[in-house]
């Protein structure tokens, strides 16, 4: 099965790396995406040889399948450094969306953000959402940062709402960075989804537990 047909069969997203260097995060994630599906194809080809073997008992085939599964799960793990680096770079890119403040020193600005959060905590979720969207629409950096920088335990807005809002903020004020943020987010999601699905498929077909396939082999 080709990579393209496997992509369709397993319902994978795709990564558009047009305009990105092969050594960029998006380019590297595109490589991970393709290799992950190639790994599944190679695993299934090797697994079929085991199933077709006339020299192995059913018990022997089961053992060989599990060892094969562990081998290919380990191959998937070789992509971990790329995923981890892309995740760090995406976090850093999101942090860069703030515009330098001209409204005083950092201490004064922090106090103003805290004051705004105090007011927001007295509002219900719908009202906070309205304030968030208005800040994005009007370019209100102080309110935008006050909500975005709020401690997680305050739960002013949902993580998905924050990500969408940040993307919209960038779209309005820095389209180039907005595209980079969208492309990297999409590529990272597609690559991690592909790895998770392929790992799950290999474990299922090799009769290995997804939680810790290597432990099963050691039993």
Give me the residue spans of the domains in the chain: 3-13+21-92+192-218, 100-173
How far apart are the C-alpha atoms of 203 and 210, rounded to whole Å? 6
Q: Kindly tell me the burial class for residue 87, based on how many C-beta atoms sit within 10 Å of its own C-beta (0-12, 13-18, 19 or more).
A: middle
Residue ranges, the chain, pLDDT below 50:
1-10, 99-102, 218
SS3 labels along 125-191: HHHHHHHHHHHHHHCCHHHHHHHHCCCHHHCCCCHHHHHHHHHHHHHHHCHHHHHHHHHHHHHHHHH
- Predicted TM-score of the model (pTM): 0.68
Distance from C-alpha of 65 to C-alpha of 133, rounded to nearest angstrom = 53
Query: For position 217, what pLDDT does the model report?
Result: 53
| Collapsed DSSP state (helix, strand, coil) of residue 18 | coil
CB 188 within 8 A of CB 94: no
């Amino acid at each position: 099965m080709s990579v393209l047909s496997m992509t369709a069969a397993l319902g994978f997203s795709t990564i558009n790396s047009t305009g990105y260097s092969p050594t960029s995060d998006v380019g590297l994630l595109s490589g991970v995406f393709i290799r992950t599906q190639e790994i599944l194809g190679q695993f299934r080809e090797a697994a079929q040889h085991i199933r077709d073997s006339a020299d192995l008992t059913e018990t022997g085939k089961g053992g060989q399948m599990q060892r094969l599964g562990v081998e290919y799960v380990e191959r998937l793990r070789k992509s971990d450094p790329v995923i981890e680096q892309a995740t760090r770079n995406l976090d850093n890119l999101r942090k860069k969306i703030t515009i330098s403040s001209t409204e005083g020193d950092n201490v004064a600005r922090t106090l103003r953000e805290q004051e705004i959060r105090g007011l927001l905590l007295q509002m219900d979720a719908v009202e906070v959402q309205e304030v968030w969207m208005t800040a994005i629409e009007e370019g209100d950096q102080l309110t935008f940062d006050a909500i975005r920088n709020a401690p997680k335990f305050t739960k002013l807005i949902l993580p998905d709402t924050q990500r969408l809002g940040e993307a919209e903020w960038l779209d309005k004020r820095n389209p180039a960075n907005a595209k980079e943020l969208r492309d990297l987010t999409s590529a990272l999601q597609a690559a991690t989804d592909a790895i998770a699905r392929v790992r799950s498929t290999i474990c299922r077909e090799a009769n290995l537990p997804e939680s810790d396939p290597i432990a099963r082999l050691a039993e």
